[in-house]
Amino acid sequence: MMMIVGAVIMLQIIQQLHPQQVEAEEEEVAPERYGAWFGWPAGYIMNFDLFEDTAMPEYVGEAAPGTLESEAGWRIYKYEFDTVDADFEPVRLRYAEGNTNFDKVWDDRLEYEYS
């Protein structure tokens, strides 16, 4: 049950940070292969490292299917949260080493600088 609630909360956060506009008469098209910046990534696997108390994502990683967590090939970003109107809300999105390259190691996510 907690996993479902966490997934729903995370989807809401991503939609808040990166809403997609779809015209009413147009058919919805899958997002580009560019990751969460445009919504859920198309064709990538994803990892989430959640805050323990809130089940909100702190670190998110995307990689091609089959990429091991111990090998380079991940794009990693970090959500920064703050209290907004008494709610814990995402306020910033920062990328590992300041870029969107798929050259990071998921297991090393805590060692990167985020900007």
In a domain, 57, yes or no: yes
User: 19 falls in which pLDDT band (50, 70, 90)?
Assistant: low
User: Could you give the number of structural domains in the chain?
Assistant: 1
Residue closest to 36 by CA, chosen among 5, 1, 11, 6: 11
Q: Give domain status of residue 22, yes or no.
A: no
60: its two tokens: 């998110």
The answer to whether residue 92 is domain-embedded is yes
23 in a domain, yes or no? no
- pLDDT surpassing 90 at residue 66: yes
In sequence order, the 6+-apart residues with CB closer than 8 A to the CB of 36 are: 14, 18, 60, 62, 77
CA 55 to chain centre: 13
Provide the residue range defining the domain that includes 106.
2-17+37-111
Mean pLDDT score, 97-108: 96
Whether residue 58 has pLDDT greater than 60:
yes
For residue 84, being part of any structural domain is answered with yes
Provide the total of helices (H) and of strands (E) in the chain, helices listed first. Answer: 1, 5
